[in-house]
Amino acid sequence: MGTTDGGLLKRFIRKLTSDVEELDADDLTRDTELSGAQRACDCRCGDEVTMVGRLRCVELSPKDADASLQAELFDGTDGVTLIWVGRRRIPGIEPGRLIKVRGRVAVKNGRKVLYNPYYELRQAS
């Protein structure tokens, strides 16, 4: 058996023995690499970045609070909080959705944040 066959067998066995979250993280990391986007774990405060990932959760602000929409993007390596100020809802921004975002990284309470990022909704690959 050649090295290619051995690699295929290892990937097949890994898919059978890994949990769904681990496999999803691997797929997201691969998508990030293929799209040329930066990995969230490599981004630092002040960097202008483009990231690709899945929205894990979306939080809407209550009606009596200042309007903002927050979502957590996960790209397989790390999470980044996306905050759209002045928006209570954005069509298509929902948990599980694949998205490509662009903006400047800030840090708030020790977490990486993109404020008002440009975004592009993606189709599952």
Q: Which domains does the chain have, with CATH numbers?
A: 3-122 (2.40.50.140)
| Rounded Cα–Cα distance for residues 119 and 66 (Å) | 22
All residues at 6 or more sequence positions from 74 whose CB lies less than 8 Å from its CB, including other chains: 25, 28, 40, 53, 54, 55, 56, 80
CB atoms within 10 A of CB 31: 20
pTM for the whole structure: 0.73
- What is the 8-class DSSP label of residue 117? -
The pLDDT tens digits of the residues spanning 53-111 come to 999 999 987 777 788 899 999 988 889 999 999 888 899 999 989 999 999 999 999 99
